[in-house]
Amino acid sequence: MNFILASASPRRRALLTQAGYKFDIVVSNIDEAQISADGLTAIEYSCKLALAKAEEVAQRFPDKLVVGADTVADFNGEIIGKAESAQHAEEITRKLFSQPHRIVSAIAMIKKNANLQTVEYDITTVYPIKMSEQEIAEHIASETWKDKAGAYAIQEGHDKFIEKLEGSETNVVGLSMELFDRMIMNVCY
């Protein structure tokens, strides 16, 4: 089944391509900074963003299945998205690599002309290894934190700072493939 991925994320694109899916990419025009997380849990916020991204693209392509996704980190109830600056990335890194935290990824699927709308989420608990001051400085200088929820990506070398994961590894990358596979099967069959 061909679908539209409403995401600019190269990580999501790579995961779906590696799994053999055929899809087009139409980046959503949603400004995430304009969507408030006030009063929402990480799960609610992630679902809200995934739906907003899928909905915006689905309005333009009502006859296509549109997939939107969003990933946030949940640090003791605090929602942590993408770092806005190097200083912000350092603050996030110090927090998230001090104790276990959760990564929440939501996937939304919408097909307007079929009256289909669904959103689900996956949670992975990350048990980090404390980073040294030098490792934190190197991480910030590398700029690999840019455009990533929680200011890190395990597929770009930061898995060496992870003791263990409870849950889906691809969820931490940005798209739970286990959840996606199940959802796409339910939608298509």
Per-residue pLDDT tens listing for the chain (189 residues): 789 999 988 889 999 999 999 999 999 999 888 888 889 999 999 999 999 999 999 999 999 999 999 999 899 999 987 888 889 888 988 888 889 999 999 999 999 999 999 999 999 999 998 888 898 898 889 888 887 777 777 755 556 788 899 999 999 988 999 999 999 999 986
Domains in the chain with CATH codes: 3-188 (3.90.950.10)
How many degrees, rounded to 5, is the angle at CA 82 between CA 97 and CA 64? Answer: 125
Which of 24, 31, 38, 70 is labelled catalytic? 70
Q: Is 70 a catalytic residue?
A: yes
How far apart (Å, rounded) are the C-alpha atoms in residues 163 and 60?
43
Is the Cβ–Cβ distance between 156 and 149 less than 8 Å?
no
> Residue 49: phi, psi to the nearest 5?
-70, -45
Within 8 A by CB and 6+ apart from 29, the residues are: 56
Q: What is the pTM of this model?
A: 0.90
